[in-house]
Amino acid sequence: MPNENRMTCEKFNRDLFLYIDTGLPVEQIEFYSEHLKYCSGCRKLLEETEELLALSSTALGEDIGDAKFEFMVSKTLAKKQPGLVKKFFLPEKNKKENSFRLGKIALSSVLVIIAVVVSLLIVKPYAVPAEITNSGMMDWNGEEFNLKISELSDELNGDEWNEEEAELLFINERINQLLK
Amino acid sequence: MINITEDNLIQKCSKGDADAFAPLMKIYRQRLFSYLFKLCGNRITAEDQFQETLIKVWRAFPKYDERNKFSSWLFSIAHNSAMDALRKKNLHEFLEYNEESEFETGTDDPHMELINSEAHKIISRAVDQLPIKQREVFLLRVNGEMTFKEIAEATKEPLNTVISHMHYSVKKLRKILRQEYAE
Ligand SMILES: [Zn+2]
């Protein structure tokens, strides 16, 4: 079955990396494993590829050095992990991120609205703090207050007004005298 | 290759235990730095990105889902950070056509392991010549030890595309190696 074989070889070539990853269905892996037993070409391809990957992982080895690494770690740890509030709004893994975050934001908004409504119902408007009422600052009533104001304004304006009036009366008198 | 110690360190970091962070990162230090170094194309950018990755990983740790493979999560963060930086710095184009190898295996850093073997040098140079997309996939597989499915998720590319990038990379490396040894 040379044709069938060639087709399997082509398929294996295409699936090579998934075979290495074991990212194929079990029966497919078993099928290829069976094929590899008698196909030297595919076996060679697999071995060489695995060898190349292994060689590459050592070939590409670079290091940052202890001093820099430790400096970077301490710089990192100087930054705090996000607090509870921020954590709450961070996208969660394995969840529909946007809808999940929007849900959280919506829930928080509803809670805030409820809190505002409740506070409006409970807290009395214009309530005077106890320390003011107790200190005697509120020891008056409206009538007394109005009286006091009119007294004060009379006191303040009274003299001035009387002087002006007296002057007017005096001028009036002089005019009358002259007219006579 | 998660062992009990590594699992413990991961759990501690998730709970904000700063003492566990350095030992955990030490396990991945070389692989992570190698990845960034080969992807970014120079030591300075790689170091910047290494620092960025550490900060991002530490800050994201409370949200790390233990059902995910830690190394894949770590390399995905590193990958996204580095690619963002490359895009911002407009280095993408430069890297895409960077035929002249900038990568020298020598360094002033006394702690760095020098790559001595001839094959290593050839591979290292060959990887530098890969276009960015192929290099990205190849390095995530080799340094990040990620599966192709994980790479597809990290790079937001279809699985088929990722695999064809890998085919291209391996084909090119094999070709270069064969040429070098034929000479
Ligand atoms: Zn075959």
Is residue B113 scored above 80 in pLDDT?
no
Structure tokens at A106: 């919506």
Structure tokens at B167: 């085919």
Tell me, what's the pLDDT at B112? 39
Contact A45, A11 (CB under 8 A): no
Task: Give B17-57 pLDDT, tens digit per residue.
Answer: 999 999 999 999 999 999 999 999 889 999 999 999 999 99
A18 interfaces chain B, CB cutoff of 8 Å: yes
Tell me, what's the pLDDT at A141? 60
Per residue, the 3-state secondary structure of B117-154, as one string, reads CHHHHHHHHHHHCCCHHHHHHHHHHHCCCCCHHHHHHH
Tell me, what's the pLDDT at B118? 79
Q: What is the distance between the alpha carbons of residues B156 and B136, in angstroms, rounded to a whole number?
A: 12
Chain A nearest C-alpha distance from B93 (Å): 23
Q: Do B64 and A93 touch (CB under 8 A)?
A: yes
Q: What is the distance between the alpha carbons of residues B2 and A171, in angstroms, rounded to a whole number?
A: 112
Residues contacting residue B48 through CB under 8 Å, at least 6 positions apart: B85
Q: If DSSP codes are grouped into helix, strand and coil, which group holds residue B147?
A: coil
Contact A46, A19 (CB under 8 A): yes
Q: What is the distance between the alpha carbons of residues B131 and B92, in angstroms, rounded to a whole number?
A: 10
Per-residue pLDDT, averaged over B52-78, amounts to 94
Per-residue pLDDT, averaged over B156-183, amounts to 90
Chain B nearest C-alpha distance from A97 (Å): 13
Tell me, what's the pLDDT at B109? 42
ipTM score of complex: 0.79
Per-residue pLDDT, averaged over B106-128, amounts to 64
Tell me, what's the pLDDT at B24? 96
User: Range with the lowest mean pLDDT among A5-9, B97-101, B139-143, B147-151?
Assistant: B97-101
What length does chain B have? 183
B87 interfaces chain A, CB cutoff of 8 Å: no
A53 interfaces chain B, CB cutoff of 8 Å: yes
Tell me, what's the pLDDT at B110? 40
Q: Looking at chain B from residue 16 to 45, which residues have their Cβ under 8 Å from any Cβ of chain A?
A: 16, 18, 21-22, 25-26, 29-30, 33-35, 37-38
Residue B58's pLDDT band (cuts 50, 70, 90): very high
Question: B152: CA distance to ligand 1 center in Å?
Answer: 27
- Look up residue B20 and give its DSSP letter: G
Owner of token pair 């990568």: B103
The residue of chain A with its CA nearest to that of B55 is A76
Q: What is the distance between the alpha carbons of residues B97 and B162, in angstroms, rounded to a whole number?
A: 20
In 3D space, the residue among B148, B95, B110, B135 whose CA is nearest the CA of residue A56 turns out to be B135
Structure tokens at A14: 């295409």
Per-residue pLDDT, averaged over B87-95, amounts to 62
Per-residue pLDDT of chain A (180 residues; tens, 9 = 90+): 566 788 999 999 999 999 999 889 999 999 999 999 999 999 999 999 999 998 898 888 888 999 999 999 999 998 777 654 555 555 544 444 455 556 666 777 777 787 877 777 776 555 555 665 555 555 556 666 667 666 776 666 555 556 666 677 777 777 788 776
Q: Looking at chain B from residue 146 to 175, which residues have their Cβ under 8 Å from any Cβ of chain A?
A: 147-149, 163, 166-167, 170, 173-174
Q: If DSSP codes are grouped into helix, strand and coil, which group holds residue A136?
A: coil
Question: B159: CA distance to ligand 1 center in Å?
Answer: 23
Mutate to test the interface with A, among B14, B57, B123 (most CBs of A within 10 A): B123
Q: Do B123 and A55 touch (CB under 8 A)?
A: yes
Q: Report chain A residues whose CB lies below 8 A from the CB of B170.
A: 49, 52-53
Residue B178's pLDDT band (cuts 50, 70, 90): confident
Q: Does the predicted TM-score (pTM) go above 0.80?
A: no
Tell me, what's the pLDDT at A42? 96
Using a 10 angstrom Cβ sphere, with 0-12 exposed, 13-18 middle and 19 or more buried, the burial of residue B143 is: buried
Q: Report chain B residues whose CB lies below 8 A from the CB of A55.
A: 119-120, 123
Cα B85 to Cα A160, B6, B53, B142, B154, distances in angstroms: 81, 29, 11, 22, 16
Tell me, what's the pLDDT at A101? 57
Q: What is the distance between the alpha carbons of residues B120 and B126, in angstroms, rounded to a whole number?
A: 10
Residue B122's pLDDT band (cuts 50, 70, 90): confident
Domains defined along chain B, listed by start = 1-98 (1.10.1740.10), 107-183 (1.10.10.10)
Residue B80's pLDDT band (cuts 50, 70, 90): very high
